[in-house]
């Protein structure tokens, strides 16, 4: 059974080393030294004012303690209004974003849409994904003025890029045979989408929508920083005034709502799948 | 050498997998454990090295009682029991050599093993074992590049490099084709003989068991219903172990297999 | 029952009577909620500005083009800072996320009822809060600068990385772990030989994926004063230097596209 081609006697007494992950020696060392050089350079160029950091530890401690004793009452009306605005923006933008994403997702799936439509829809998705929420919000605030409308538009726009891309991928990977069977029955295009495609991608659409709702809420919390409405403005004020207990209260509310949304989306996803 | 006394395992679900099993294995004996699925074969050998904690009863390996050992002492005793698994259970993303050397983990310290700096004697032994099973040229291949039979041979090397006194073998041939199954069984039995190891081989293929071992234990619903030589397995006995079935064909097949095996060996 | 018997004729319906009523009610509630939300948004919007928006947009566009190309010479350091914030932040978060993930995974946690919930709480709370908010907080505590950005990115990424990693740990093949345990290996050796090799590809994938996201996030951290190219964006916006703004936006866009390309390449090479 033993393999004659391999000289075992020659290997006995020889040290064994694990074959390296990167075979080429020069490449291995170049990457290693490069990474090391980068880390040193990066570390050198970060200016850390250690005495300031040290002073900050005291404030940090105060903040951690504030979490144990958050203040919901002093600015309760500000918090309530900001939270409501965040939630309203989240719900409205999710609804509109999802409604617009569905046709765009269909257009961005190569097995459903013709090439020109496909290219246009993919272009829209690419633009929406490349631009971050906060930058879009800045521009929209400049154009539409302060207020939740800018935030609503920002989140709707971001939802389109996220949802259309993932949904289009799902449509592209769907089971061809089921869709063909519907087509074979002489259905027109809309009927074909309704009967052949929709049932297959529906669970995923619902799951993704819930996930996006969750993301939209989290994002809505920062849009206020640039004047686009929501709880972010209240939070920013709290930090500016060093009112850590109010800030802690707001953060706790955000965490609880996100946890609640995650739990809800888990339940809903389990039901539709 | 290995003695089980009133070994009981009751799972949390209430299933009694083992009901007071008594068993004694002398030095160097290879025995086969047969029985239908769910009879408790797998539980029995896992209770010996305590991958499954027995509910009550004692396990003696030599003079050492295993069920009461602390975690550290248990690890020491586990080194004396090599285990071979059904689906090979190689760490698929490690190389063949690393898989074999992982059998020495009980002997080397953490940092040495982490940095792959095993003692030279271990490396030499690993090469000798790999050569013995015909895989020395594959030492630096990744385990998931190997075929089923090759993987199981690596699994055997990993168990043997522990320098065990006892082999616990869990369905070594379940995922292999008939020819490879026999090669693996023969290899295990040969190695046990060479090294004077005792072994418990869990196996569902009765014919294969009869071909290679000196002693067969039949397990049914967690109880021993047969303990004797392989040729004592009459159709009546098999019915007792497995339930009603036409056993004549199996037993005849064994005889033919034996002839075939002998002619192949000569 | 979806088939109804009306005057001896069987009529098939998609949903039974009560179920369809429930569906209608659900739709109605949904529409009402949306209408209410829209009304609230519309109430706090100055519609005069909105009708004026096309003119303003056009105005901004003419001011912003062409971008002030020579300004790029001043962007070298901010870009370098941005890269550092993302990379160092990702590194720190990975170092912190690994133990959290091991404590959170059902099959490796030392205690299910005490340690695991704490680990899960760390994951959910760091994940729920955006890096910009972490940056605000850290600036209030340790002062503005790149360092606050690095820490903000690091904290925000812990939850994300730990969540994906602990899911990977829960999906490992237990028999490989069992096999290593059976050799008499210690707890740490079982980890190093049985578990780590199995999750290494997932770990590398997560690291690169998160790095890509962090590049995006670190470009805007400067808006709140946490260093990077966002600082330039913020100051240019404050003085309404639109040609500079458009150049910075182009640079950010390029950074995002490049980082996505790099991460896709690296992930392709790993898997």
Alpha carbon separation from B113 to A148, B121, B122, B154, C186 (Å, rounded): 59, 14, 12, 19, 11
Interface membership of A21 toward B (CB under 8 Å): no
In a domain, C145, yes or no: yes
Q: What is the pLDDT of residue C162?
A: 95
Quote the pLDDT of residue B251. 60
Q: Which domains does chain B have, with CATH numbers?
A: 1-80+203-266 (3.40.50.300)
Regarding whether C180 and C131 lie in a shared domain, the answer is: yes
The alpha carbon of residue B175 is apart from the nearest alpha carbon of chain A, in Å, by: 21
Residues C60 and C103 in one domain: no
Domain count, chain C: 2
Q: Is C16 on the interface with B (CB under 8 A)?
A: no
Measured between CB atoms, which of C175, C183, C186 is closest to B102? C183
Please list every residue in chain B whose beta carbon sits closer than 8 Å to the beta carbon of residue A3: 131, 134-137
Interfacial B residues in 62-121 facing A (CB < 8 Å): 95, 97-98, 116, 118, 120
B136 and A5 within 8 Å at the Cβ level: the answer is no
A258–C136 CB contact, under 8 Å: no
Residue of A nearest to B183 (CA): A1
Residue C31 lies in a domain: yes
From chain A, the residues in CB contact with B97 under 8 A are 16, 18
pTM of the predicted model over 0.80: yes
Residues of B in contact with A2 (CB under 8 A): 131-132, 134, 136
Same domain? For C129 and C194 the reply is yes
Which residues of chain B are within 8 Å of residue A14 when distances are taken between CB atoms? Answer: 123
Please give the pLDDT value at position C98: 95
Q: What is the pLDDT of residues C93-134, one digit of tens each?
A: 999 999 999 999 988 888 888 899 999 999 988 988 888 888
Per-residue pLDDT of chain A (273 residues), as tens digits, is: 444 456 777 777 788 888 777 778 888 899 899 999 999 988 888 877 788 888 888 888 888 888 888 888 888 888 888 899 899 999 999 999 999 999 999 898 888 888 899 999 999 998 888 888 888 998 898 888 888 889 999 999 999 999 999 999 888 888 778 778 887 887 788 888 888 888 888 888 888 898 899 889 988 888 888 888 888 888 888 888 888 888 889 988 988 998 888 888 888 888 876
Closest CA to A139 of C216, C192, C223: C223
- CA torsion, points C230, C233, C238, C244, in degrees to nearest 10? 170
Strands B198-202 and B223-228: unpaired
Q: Tell me: do C35 and C116 sit in the same domain.
A: no
C43 and C128 together in one domain: no
Name every chain A residue with its beta carbon within 8 A of the beta carbon of B188.
Answer: none
pLDDT at position A179 is 78
Share of chain C above pLDDT 70, in %: 93
pLDDT at C88: 93
Cα A248 versus chain centre, distance? 24
Task: Give A-chain residues touching C53 at CB under 8 angstroms.
Answer: 143-144
Q: Sort out which chain A residues have CB atoms less than 8 A from C219's CB and list them.
A: 132
- How far the first Cα of chain A sits from its last, in Å, is 52
> Is position A29 within any domain?
no
Residue A35 maps to a domain: no
Q: Which of B79, B93, B107 sits opposite C198 (nearest CB)?
A: B93
Q: Which of C41, C128, C224 sits opposite A218 (nearest CB)?
A: C128
Q: Which pLDDT score, from 0 to 100, does residue B1 have?
A: 84
Q: Under DSSP, is residue B107 helix (H, G, I), strand (E, B) or coil?
A: coil
C224 shares a domain with C194 = yes
Nearest to C159 by CA among C94, C87, C89: C94
Using CB atoms, pick whichever of A89, A134, A255 lies closest to residue C132: A134
Establish if C266 belongs to a structural domain: yes
Q: Residue A235 domain-assigned?
A: yes
The partner residues of B34 in beta bridges, in order of sequence, read B218
Q: Model confidence over C216-262: pLDDT tens digits? A: 899 989 888 888 888 888 888 888 888 888 999 889 888 888 988 88
Residue C111 and residue C177 in one domain: yes
- Whether A10 is in a domain gets the answer no
- Smallest CA–CA distance from B93 into chain C, residue: C197
Residue range B143-196, pLDDT digits in tens: 988 988 899 999 999 999 999 999 999 988 888 888 889 999 999 999 999 999
Considering the domain architecture, whether residues C237 and C133 belong to the same structural domain is answered as yes
Mean pLDDT of chain C: 87
Res. B262 pLDDT band, cuts 50 70 90: very low
Structure tokens at A242: 């060093």
Chain-wide mean pLDDT for chain B?
Answer: 86
Answer whether B105 sits within 8 Å of C188, measured CB to CB.
Answer: no
A93 falls within a domain:
yes
Average pLDDT of span C256-271 = 83
The answer, yes or no, to whether residue B234 has pLDDT greater than 60, is yes
**Tens digits of residue pLDDT in C75-84:** 888 999 999 9
* Residue C210 covered by a domain: yes
Same domain, C87 and C58: no
B250 falls in which pLDDT band (50, 70, 90)? Answer: low
Q: Do C45 and A149 touch (CB under 8 A)?
A: yes
**Interface A:C, Cβ pairs < 8 A:** 147
Report cis status (omega within 30 of 0) of the bond before C66: yes
In this predicted structure, what is the pLDDT of residue C66? 85
Per-residue model confidence as pLDDT tens digits over C186-214 = 989 999 999 999 999 899 989 998 999 99
How many separate domains does chain A show? 1
Ranges A180-194, B235-249, C27-41, C59-73, most confident: C27-41
- Interface check for B106 against chain C (CB to CB < 8 A): the answer is yes
State the best of B53, B93, B162 to mutate against chain C, taking most chain C CBs within 10 Å: B93
Are residues C51 and C18 part of one domain? yes
Confidence of residue B264 (pLDDT cuts 50, 70, 90): very low
Residue A250 within any structural domain of the chain: yes
Q: What percent of chain B has pLDDT over 90?
A: 30
The answer to whether C87 contacts chain B (CB < 8 Å) is: no
In eight-state DSSP terms, residue A20 is P
Domain span at residue A89 reads 77-272
Q: Is C108 within a domain?
A: yes
Indicate which CATH number applies to the domain containing C96. 1.10.3720.10
Q: Are B123 and A6 inside 8 Å of each other by CB?
A: no
Q: Express each pLDDT in B4-21 by its tens digit.
A: 988 898 888 888 888 888
Confidence of residue C58 (pLDDT cuts 50, 70, 90): confident
Tell me the shortest Cα–Cα distance from C173 to chain A, in angstroms: 23
Give the count of beta carbons closer than 10 Å to the beta carbon of residue A10: 9
Within 196-235 of B, beta carbons closer than 8 Å to C belong to none
DSSP characters over C3-71? EEEETTEEEE-SS-HHHHHHHHHHHHHHHHHHHHHHHHHHHTS-HHHHHHHHHHHHHHHHHH-S--GGG
- Name every residue whose Cβ is closer than 8 Å to that of residue A123 and which is 6 or more positions away in sequence: none
Q: What is the pLDDT of residue A221?
A: 86
- pLDDT, one tens digit per residue, over A149-203 is 899 999 999 999 999 999 998 888 887 787 788 878 877 888 888 888 888 888 8
Q: Which residues of B touch C200 (CB under 8 A)?
A: 93
For an interface test with A, the pick among B137, B161, B180 (most A C-beta atoms closer than 10 Å) comes out as: B137
Whether B254 has a pLDDT exceeding 70, the answer reads no
Task: Kindly state whether residues C154 and C236 are assigned to the same domain.
Answer: yes
Q: How confident is the model at residue C138 (pLDDT cuts 50, 70, 90)?
A: confident
Is A15 part of any domain? Answer: no
Q: Do B78 and C197 touch (CB under 8 A)?
A: no
**Is there a contact between A45 and C81 if contact means CB atoms under 8 Å apart?**
yes
CB contact under 8 A, A47 and C87: no
| A11 in B contact zone (CB under 8 Å) | yes
Query: What is the rounded average pLDDT of the residues C21-29?
Result: 87
User: Rounded distance, CA B84 to CA A238, Å?
Assistant: 63
More confident residue, B223 or A272: B223
- B123 touching A, CB under 8 A? yes
| CA A132/CA B152 separation, integer angstroms | 52
| C69 located within any domain | no
User: What's the first-to-final CA gap in chain C, in angstroms?
Assistant: 50
Q: Check residue A76 and give its pLDDT.
A: 83
Nearest CB partner across the interface for A16, out of B123, B131, B134: B123
Test B110 with C184 for CB contact under 8 angstroms.
no
Q: What per-residue confidence (pLDDT) applies to C103? A: 94
> Is the confidence at residue B226, as pLDDT, over 70?
yes
Measured in residues, chain B has a length of: 266
Residues 146-165 of A with CB under 8 A from B: none
Chain B contact for C201, CB < 8 A? yes
Residue A199's pLDDT is what?
A: 83
Is there a domain that residue C188 lies in?
A: yes
pLDDT number for residue A73? 81
Domain extent for C217:
74-270
| Chains within contact range of chain B (3+ C-beta pairs < 8 Å) | A, C
C129, C137, C220: residue with CB nearest A132 = C220
Q: Give the CA-trace dihedral at B43, B48, B50, B56, to 10 degrees.
A: 80
Is residue B85 within 8 angstroms of chain C, CB to CB?
Answer: yes
Domain with residue A223: its CATH number is 1.10.3720.10
Residue C254 domain-assigned? yes
C106 three-state secondary structure:
coil
Q: Which residue has the higher pLDDT, A229 or C170?
A: C170
């Amino acid at each position: 059974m033993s393999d004659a081609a391999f000289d075992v006697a020659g290997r006995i007494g020889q040290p064994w080393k694990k074959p390296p992950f990167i075979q080429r020696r020069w490449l291995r060392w170049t990457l290693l030294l490069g990474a090391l050089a980068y880390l040193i350079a990066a570390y050198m160029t970060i200016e850390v004012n250690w005495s300031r950091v040290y002073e900050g530890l005291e404030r940090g401690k105060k903040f951690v303690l504030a979490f144990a004793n958050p203040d919901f009452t002093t600015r309760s009306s500000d918090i309530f209004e900001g939270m409501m605005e965040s939630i309203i923006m989240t719900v409205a933008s999710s609804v509109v974003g999802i409604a617009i994403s569905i046709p765009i997702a269909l257009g961005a799936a190569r097995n459903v849409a013709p090439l020109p439509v496909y290219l246009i829809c993919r272009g829209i998705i690419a633009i929406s994904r490349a631009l971050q929420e906060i930058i879009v919000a800045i521009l929209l605030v400049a154009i539409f003025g302060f207020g939740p409308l800018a935030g609503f538009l920002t989140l709707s726009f971001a939802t389109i890029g996220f949802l259309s891309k993932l949904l289009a991928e799902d449509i592209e990977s769907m089971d061809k045979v089921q869709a063909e069977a519907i087509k074979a029955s002489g259905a027109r295009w809309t009927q074909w989408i309704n009967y052949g495609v929709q049932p297959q991608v529906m669970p995923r659409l619902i799951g993704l929508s819930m996930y996006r709702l969750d993301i939209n809420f989290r994002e809505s919390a920062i849009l206020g920083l640039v004047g686009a409405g929501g709880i972010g403005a209240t939070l920013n004020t709290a930090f500016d005034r060093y009112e850590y207990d109010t800030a802690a209260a707001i953060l706790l509310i955000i965490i609880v709502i996100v946890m609640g949304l995650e739990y809800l989306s888990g339940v809903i996803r389990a039901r539709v799948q | 050498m290995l003695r089980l006394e009133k070994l009981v395992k009751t799972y949390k679900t209430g299933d009694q997998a083992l009901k007071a099993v008594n068993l004694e294995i002398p030095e160097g004996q290879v025995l086969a454990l047969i029985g239908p699925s769910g009879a408790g074969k797998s539980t029995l050998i896992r209770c010996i090295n305590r991958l499954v904690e027995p509910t009550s009863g004692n396990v003696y390996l030599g003079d050492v009682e295993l069920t009461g050992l602390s975690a550290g002492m248990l690890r020491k005793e586990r080194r004396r029991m090599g285990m071979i698994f059904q689906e090979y259970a190689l760490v698929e993303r490690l190389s063949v050599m690393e898989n074999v050397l992982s059998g020495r983990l009980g002997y080397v310290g953490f940092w040495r093993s982490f940095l792959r700096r095993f003692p030279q004697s271990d490396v030499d032994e690993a090469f000798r074992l790999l050569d013995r099973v015909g895989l020395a040229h594959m030492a630096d291949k990744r385990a998931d590049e190997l075929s089923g039979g090759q993987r199981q041979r690596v699994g055997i090397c990993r168990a043997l490099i522990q320098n065990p006194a006892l082999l616990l073998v869990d369905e070594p041939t379940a995922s292999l084709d008939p020819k490879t199954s026999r090669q693996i069984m023969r290899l295990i039995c040969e190695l046990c003989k060479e090294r004077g190891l005792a072994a418990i081989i869990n196996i569902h293929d009765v014919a294969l068991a009869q071909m290679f071992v000196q002693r067969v234990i039949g397990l049914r619903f967690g109880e021993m219903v047969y303990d004797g030589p392989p040729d004592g397995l009459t159709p009546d006995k098999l019915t007792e172990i497995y339930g009603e079935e036409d056993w004549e064909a199996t037993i005849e097949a064994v005889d033919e297999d034996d002839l075939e095996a002998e002619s192949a060996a000569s | 029952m979806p088939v109804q018997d009306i005057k001896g004729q069987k009529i098939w319906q998609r949903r039974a009577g009560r179920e369809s009523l429930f569906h209608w009610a659900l739709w109605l509630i949904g529409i009402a909620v949306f209408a209410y939300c829209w009304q609230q948004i519309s109430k706090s919007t100055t519609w005069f500005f909105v009708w004026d928006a096309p003119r303003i947009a056009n105005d901004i566009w003419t001011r912003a083009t062409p971008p002030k190309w020579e300004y790029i010479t001043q962007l070298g350091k901010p870009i370098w800072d941005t890269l550092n914030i993302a990379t160092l932040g990702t590194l720190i978060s990975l170092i912190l996320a690994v133990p959290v993930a091991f404590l959170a995974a059902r099959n490796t946690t030392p205690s299910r009822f005490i340690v695991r919930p704490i680990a899960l709480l760390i994951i959910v709370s760091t994940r729920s809060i955006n890096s910009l908010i972490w940056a605000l907080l850290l600036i209030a505590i340790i002062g503005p600068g790149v360092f606050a950005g690095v820490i903000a990115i690091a904290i925000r990424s812990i939850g994300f990385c730990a969540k994906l990693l602990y899911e990977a740990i829960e999906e490992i093949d237990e028999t490989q772990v069992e096999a290593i345990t059976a050799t008499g290996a210690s707890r740490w050796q079982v980890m190093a030989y049985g578990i780590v090799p199995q999750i290494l590809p997932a770990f590398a994938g997560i690291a690169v994926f998160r790095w890509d996201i962090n590049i995006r996030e670190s470009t805007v951290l400067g808006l709140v004063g946490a260093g990077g190219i966002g600082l330039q964006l913020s100051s240019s916006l404050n003085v309404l230097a639109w040609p500079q703004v458009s150049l910075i936006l182009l640079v950010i866009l390029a950074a995002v596209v490049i980082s996505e390309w790099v991460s896709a390449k690296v992930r392709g090479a790993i898997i």
